[in-house]
Chain A
């Protein structure tokens, strides 16, 4: 148990569906992140939020829409996805700006787009 909880753990969706991934952290951290983990590729940083403000969008397609209503919750809204978007989506949190602070990861949501 890392203190970062992601739901659902598994999600199968059609290309025309709309779904959302949820992440919640109980660590009192200020920064939250979405990463994408695809087979045989390095983890890719998608979005960074610090104190609820988005500070990085790593050229992510607009079919992925993040939302951070407060420092403890992070969502990733999905719509009109493509099969190549199938991956493990990992949420993480850390104590803000400090580079020495490690990120704590959730268990991920395994997304399959059919």
Chain B
């Protein structure tokens, strides 16, 4: 079974500072990895995904993540935080179910951006 670990349930940064949200995964097969963001009272929105190819993946809103197989990591970064980035972020890994696509999520990291 696959699993995802997000280190740090809460991360606080200053506006303009680097954002780093950590994600480690466990998978017996080459993983497909996703980052989602959830704003208050909203569903999840895809930020970016890694499938194959280039290990540095760029997403929306200036976020990017790097797949490192040797470290089983897929950390999310943004060079300069903005107040609008305050939200909860979820890392996920996918596996097939025989039909459809099963996502296994981490417990989430709440990002707070301070002035």
Residues of A at under 8 Å CB distance from B?
A: 2, 4, 6, 31-33, 40-43, 45, 48-51, 53, 55-56, 90, 92, 94, 96-108, 110
> In the complex, A42 Cα to B107 Cα: how many Å?
4
Contact B51 A50 (CB under 8 A): no
Contact of A48 among B32, B43, B99 (CB under 8 A): B99
Contact A50 B96 (CB under 8 A): no
Q: For residue B108, which residues in chain A have a CB less than 8 angstroms away from its CB? A: 42
Interface flags, B84-115, vs A, CB<8A=1, else 0:
00000010001111111111111110000000
The 5 A-B residue pairs with the shortest CB-CB distance, nearest first, are A50-B99, A55-B99, A105-B43, A31-B100, A100-B51
> In the complex, A33 Cα to B45 Cα: how many Å?
15
Determine how close the nearest CB of chain B comes to the CB of A42; give it in whole angstroms: 5
Contact A45 B99 (CB under 8 A): no
Contact A97 B90 (CB under 8 A): no
Is there a chain A Cβ closer than 8 Å to B18's Cβ?
A: no
